[in-house]
A and B are shown apart, each in its own frame.
Chain A
Amino acid sequence: MEEIRLHGRGGQGVVKASQIVVAAAVKSGLHGQFIPFFGVERKGSPVYGYLRLSHREIRRKTQIYEPDMLIVMDDTLVTMPNTYAGLKPGGAVLINTRRPLEELNVPDCASVVAAVDATEISERRFGRNLPNTAVLGAFAHVASLVDRDVLFGEIAAAFGEGNRLSAAEGYETVRFLKGGNQDV
């Protein structure tokens, strides 16, 4: 089972993005589960999400304490103590940022750190900071469990072709700051 914790802010589409991943996983014959954790439901407040993908039935409905992967939708969250808490040694981090690795506060135990400038992509394409589909595109590059084409199909089904293109751009422009294939 792969456990992925998402950190974002209300209004950035953490919940919808995660639901799309679950839909893509289920369509690929996997089991997927997503539990959002809201504080107060308003724009800008921190939002957590717990995403699990597995070849077997997922029974636990709990928070994720030792994630295999972290997805950070907003790089103002990298200084919050909860953001990197419990990351598994050898785990992966995907951040929506244009900043260099040194400024991201990533713990040494992370073996892969990937960055995508999803805010820039979404502001250019949609005129608003809706980074989730570009981040999902980058996620398809970093994560192995979910098939890219199935995921992009689900994005298009949920949000239309413009967001499929946004995801494709996220996929193409992801930068590996540590580990992974840094030539990409």
Chain B
Amino acid sequence: MGSIRVLTGNYAAAEAAALCRPDLISAYPITPQSSVVEHLSELVHNGELDAELVQVESEHSAMSVVQGAAAGGARTFTATSAQGLALMYEPYFRMSTLRLPMVMAIATREMTSPETIWSGQQDAISVRDAGWIQMFCDSNQEIVDMIIQGYMLSEHPQVCLPVNICYDGFYSSHLTCGVDMPTQEEVDAFLPPRSANHSALLDPRSPLALDPMTPGELLMNYRRNHLAAMQRALEVIEETDRKFAAAFGRSYGGLIEEYRCDDAELVLITLGGMTGAGKDAVDESRERGIRAGLIKLRFYRPFPAARLASALRGKRAFCVVDRSVCFGWNCGPMYVELRSALENCGSYARFSAIGGLGGADISVADMARVIDRLNDIKDRPGEYGTLWLMKDQEAEV
């Protein structure tokens, strides 16, 4: 049995990563992720974690170092946020397209400009098509559990892809609460060493050139295989959730979590830490006789289109709440994806809501406002203007 420890989201992430016995960690500090790296260096320094910790001068180098180590067969970990992720983008893309497994935490943060260090999901969302699996957590417990599951998923022979475990900067990264930490023995029993599934790509005893210039036909073959692995991951994610539930007694629903959806007419769709406020708003609206429910999208890549379509079948109205924007569509990016996922999208009353940018809160009152608007439009299918969750204005486009 594990023990309840009182930890911030970042410390929970660091402790969970340590339990997965990484061979090598390399990271560069950036707000709001810094204490992940600080705590891991502390664990290594104190001799509590037997891992190589490589100090680097930038995120580009951090990803390059873990990339080399992963190619050499190591289990690796890193973490970043926002501008750090942007600086990392070049080796970040190569990590997934080399099909190297690893777990990277992202304490999600708004992208500059205007200058900001606060919360938002624009950073992770902006790299959604760089070939990584992307998962978003609601609670500190989920951060711990998903980092552990992340390695199993990433190293699964049918998947072989790096995984982002994302959680909201400040609202989760700096949130302190009780967390049920598994023991080392429990994690060891759940998660085999990486060498159990992979032989090293790079081995000094049999030298090879990794990633030579590749002609188009062959490159397209790699891309097709990468996309196929992403689709296989949809099932592996569900299977990993079941295995984790059997071992640790906690299930999160796999690709999506459905909350009070069975008899719901109206559905809120959320991502990450806003989910808790959404659930509270659903409960409060139920007390007012409004049949609301909530779907937490847990995996953004691969996109769980079939599960979402099935969960929304028979519902009358939905709203997707995004903590980032889609510059090309005048709405939130997850909303665009939802539209693509639904063959019968036109039969719903629906709209996109955008809130929580640059550290702004998404409050229970904001979520209640979304539910009330859904209730108003539920009998008139069609697309309604984007709702901006701002305090002092009714800012509908």
Contacts of B365 in A (CB 8 A): 65
Cβ contacts under 8 Å, B279 to chain A: 59
Q: Within 8 Å of chain B (Cβ to Cβ): is A61?
A: yes
Q: How far is the CB of A32 from chain B (nearest CB, A)?
A: 6
User: Which residues of A37-52 are within 8 A (CB) of B?
Assistant: 37-38, 41
Partner of B363, one of A26, A59, A62: A62
A120 to B354, alpha carbons, bound, how many Å? 47
Whether B174 and A31, one on each chain, are in contact in the complex, defined by CB atoms closer than 8 angstroms, is no
Q: Are B170 and A35 in contact (CB under 8 A)?
A: yes
B67 sits at the interface (CB 8 A)? no
Contact: A61 with B176, CB < 8 Å? no
Query: A22, A32, A61: which contacts B171 (Cβ < 8 A)?
Result: A61
Across the interface, name the chain B residue whose C-beta is closest to A18. B176
A63 nearest CB neighbor, chain B only: B361
A33:B175 contact, CB within 8 angstroms: yes
In this complex, what residue of B is CB-closest to A37? B170
A58 to B170, CA, bound (A): 17
Instruction: Give chain B nearest CB distance to A96 CB in angstroms.
Output: 22
Residues of B close to A180: CB separation below 8 A:
none
Task: Confirm or deny: A77 has a beta carbon within 8 angstroms of a beta carbon on chain B.
Answer: no
Q: Chain B: which residue is nearest A32 at the CB level?
A: B177
Min CB–CB distance B181 → chain A (angstroms): 12
* Cα–Cα distance between A32 and B362 once the two chains are bound (Å): 20
Question: What is the CA–CA distance of A22 and B179 in the complex, to the nearest angstrom?
Answer: 12
A61 touches B168 (CB 8 A): yes
CB pair B176–A62 under 8 Å, yes or no, is no
Contact A62 B362 (CB under 8 A): yes
In the complex, the answer to whether A33 meets B176 with C-beta atoms within 8 Å is yes
Q: In angstroms, how far is the closest chain A Cβ from the Cβ of B137?
A: 11
**Given A22-B6, A26-B4: A60 in contact with B175 (beta carbons within 8 A):** no
B305 in the interface, Cβ–Cβ < 8 Å?
no
Complex interface bits, A49-88 against B, C-beta within 8 A gives 1, otherwise 0: 0000000001111110100000000000000000000000
Please name all residues of chain B whose beta carbon is closer than 8 Å to the beta carbon of A65 when the two chains form the complex.
Answer: 363, 365
Closest to B279 in A: A59
Q: Once bound together, how far apart are the Cα atoms of A59 and B273, in whole Å? A: 9
CA distance A26 to B178 in the complex (A): 6
Give the A-B pair count, Cβ closer than 8 A: 64
B172 CB → nearest A CB, Å? 6
| A22-B6, A26-B4, A26-B6 as given contacts; A59 in contact with B176, CB under 8 Å | no
Partner of B175, one of A31, A34, A38: A34
Select one of B31, B178, B276 contacting A61, CB under 8 A: B276
Which residues of B from 250 to 295 have beta carbons under 8 Å from A? 273-277, 279-280
Is B229 in the interface zone, CB < 8 Å from A?
Answer: no
Q: Which of A37, A38, A59 contacts B276 (CB 8 A)?
A: A59
Q: For the complex, count residues of A whose C-beta is within 8 A of B.
A: 21
Assess the B6–A62 pair: CB atoms within 8 A: no
Contact B361 A62 (CB under 8 A): yes
Interface residues on B, range: 20 to 34
In chain B, residues 352-382, which have Cβ atoms closer than 8 Å to a Cβ of chain A? 361-365
B175 touches A35 (CB 8 A): yes
**Contact status of A23 and B6, CB under 8 A, knowing A36-B174, A62-B361:** yes
If the complex has contacts A19-B6, A33-B176, are A63 and B276 also in contact, measured as CB distance less than 8 A?
A: no
A35 engages B174 (CB within 8 Å):
yes
Closest to B32 in A: A38
Please give, as numbers and ranges, the residues of chain B lying within 8 Å of A38 by CB-CB distance. 170
A60: which of B6, B31, B178, B280 is its contact (CB, 8 Å)? B280
Residues in A neighbouring B4, C-beta threshold 8 A: 26
Which residues of the other chain, B, contact A32 by a CB distance below 8 angstroms? 6, 176-178
- In the assembly, what is the distance between CA of A60 and CA of B170, in Å? 14
Closest residue of chain B to A20, judged by CB?
Answer: B6
Please tell me if the beta carbons of B171 and A35 are within 8 angstroms of each other in the complex: yes
- State how many angstroms separate the Cβ of A17 from the closest Cβ of chain B: 11
A61 touches B277 (CB 8 A): yes
Contact of B172 among A37, A41, A61, A63 (CB under 8 A): A61
- Bound complex: CA of A154 vs CA of B176, how far in Å? 15
- In the assembled complex, the CB of B282 is this many whole angstroms from the nearest CB of chain A, namely 10
Complex Cα distance A59/B283, Å? 12
B251 CB to nearest chain A CB (Å)? 16
Q: In the complex, what's the smallest C-beta–C-beta distance from B232 to chain A, in angstroms?
A: 33
Closest-CB distance, A73 to chain B (whole angstroms): 17
Q: Is the CB of A60 within 8 A of B276?
A: yes
- CB-CB under 8 A from B274, the residues of chain A are 61
Find chain B residues with CB under 8 A from A62 CB. 171, 276-277, 361-364
The docked-state distance in angstroms from the alpha carbon of A65 to that of B172 is: 18
Closest to B8 in A: A19
26 contacts between A and B (CB under 8 A): A22-B176, A22-B177, A23-B6, A26-B177, A26-B178, A31-B177, A31-B178, A33-B175, A33-B176, A33-B177, A34-B177, A35-B176, A36-B174, A58-B276, A59-B276, A59-B277, A60-B276, A60-B364, A61-B168, A61-B171, A62-B171, A62-B276, A62-B277, A62-B362, A62-B364, A65-B363
Chain A residues engaging chain B, CB cutoff 8 angstroms = 18-19, 22-23, 26, 31-38, 41, 58-63, 65
Other than A61-B277, A62-B276, give 13 A-B pairs with Cβ distance below 8 A.
Answer: A22-B178, A26-B177, A33-B177, A35-B175, A36-B170, A36-B174, A60-B276, A60-B280, A61-B171, A62-B277, A62-B361, A63-B361, A65-B363
